[in-house]
Amino acid sequence: MPSSPFTTRFGLALPIVQGPMTGSDTPALAAAVSQAGGLGMLGCGMRSPAAMAEVAAEVRRRTDRPFGMNLFVQATPTPTPDEATVQAALQRLAPFYAEFGLVPERPARWCEDFGAQFEALVAARPAVASFTFGILSAAQVARLQATGSTVVGTATTVAEARAWAAVGADAVCASGMESGGHRGTFLSPGHEAPPPGGPSVDDFEASMLGTLTLVRQCVDALPSIPVIAAGGIMDGRGIAGALALGAQAVQMGTAFLTCPESGIGPAYRQALTQAGPTDTRTTRIFSGRPARGIVNTMMDGLRADERSVPPYPVQNALTGALRRAAAQAGRADHLSLWAGQGVAQVRPLPAAELMALLAQELQAASA
């Protein structure tokens, strides 16, 4: 099986990282992937510090293999949106809430406090601490490294990959536009520092690079640190392709979503297994940050508002109760159905069986 400095560092039998998936991964999934020779991950973007400690302990009860944890880098304290923006957003969402007999409300808070989550991450000491949506300071990277964590930063452009290398990250996850879930973009193209109010809609569009293009650019730009390829990788051929570009491992999200160990409900699971090859699109309407998911009624209904909904975390918090109600009612038409462009290739197998199949396919593709 192909090995690399990244796989050797963690004793991985396979160059496979299970993508962190906030709201959809579980300790059972992460532990099963790590136990099968990959690197299981916990997406903690929306987990409280106490929940982060609990899930890390749960993975450790299930396996003694290394695993990783991931956070959304957010400004602290969370910026407060103006009332007019919030009211306009609530009005836009009212007809969708009405479907469930609900009225949208201003939430008590917009998101978890990143500072407190970061402290919980340092205390949890996972083998890998990975980040998206922003960048850490060199001092924060050094703090994590001092407790033994390997720091991985998500990049959607080669400039973002260089920025992570400049603050001392140990590896970069190069996330192509095929990827399921949110774009990690944090720089405006042509600028080296994150813009104060976060990237604009145009910045996100300019940073939509495909995995094939992005991975080779990052590998060439950063010869001294490992690049992990993410986006559209669903089988052994995809893994072999990413390794041929110079990636030291791959990060796969969508492929693991349909494992029985994932935390998703039946409506989402069914939508994933029924989706066709052209059924995903990126949208801001659920969370205010572009994210790729399966097109549904809600995405279509708010299409005209793609540019006007407030940025993450405000829109995300405002749609939270709606998405919970839709999940409870088993209604996929009002859920955020995050999935990558490879969704038509999902194989709903237990994680250990999927890992064994990926190993076989990778061997065949590398022969």
Ligand X SMILES: Cc1cc2nc3c(=O)[nH]c(=O)nc-3n(C[C@H](O)[C@H](O)[C@H](O)COP(=O)(O)O)c2cc1C
b/e string for 299-313 if b means 16 or more Cβ within 10 A? beebeeeeeebbbbb
- Which range touches ligand X (CB under 6 A), out of 48-56, 79-87, 90-98, 338-346? 338-346
Least distance in angstroms from the C-beta of 65 to ligand X: 19
Contact partners, residue 215, CB within 8 Å, separation at least 6: 174, 176, 227, 229, 242, 245, 246, 247
Q: Among the candidate windows 141-149, 156-164, 240-248, 339-347, which touches ligand X by CB under 6 A?
A: 339-347
Number of residues that bind ligand X (CB under 6 A): 29
User: Site map for ligand X, 155-194, x if CB under 6 A?
Assistant: --------------------x--xxxx-------------
Q: Provide, rounded to whole angstroms, the least separation between the CB of residue 105 and ligand X.
A: 25
Given 232, 241, 310, 311, the residue binding ligand X (CB under 6 A)? 232
Cβ neighbours of residue 171 under 8 Å, at least 6 residues apart? 6, 150, 151, 152, 153, 225, 226, 227, 228, 248
Cβ of residue 82: shortest distance to ligand X, in angstroms? Answer: 28
Q: Decide whether 12 or 21 has the Cβ nearer to ligand X.
A: 21
Number of residue whose CB is nearest ligand X = 253
Interacting residues with ligand X between 7 and 66 (CB under 6 A)? 19-22, 24, 43, 45
Pairwise CA distance, residues 3 & 15, whole Å: 7
**Burial class, 328, CB count within 10 angstroms (exposed 0-12 / middle 13-18 / buried 19+):** exposed
> Are 234 and 346 contacting, i.e. CB atoms less than 8 angstroms apart?
yes
Residues 6+ apart with CB under 8 A from 233: 211, 239, 241, 242, 250, 251, 252, 255, 342
**Strand 181-182 relative to strand 291-294, pairing:** antiparallel
* Amino acid letter, 365: A
Among 254, 283, 287, 319, binds ligand X (CB under 6 A): 254
Closest distance of CB 130 from ligand X, Å: 6
Name the residue nearer to ligand X (CB basis): 153 or 168: 153
Cβ 286 to ligand X, closest distance in Å? 11
Binding site for ligand X (CB under 6 A): 19-22, 24, 43, 45, 70, 132, 154, 175, 178-181, 230-233, 251-255, 257, 338-340, 342
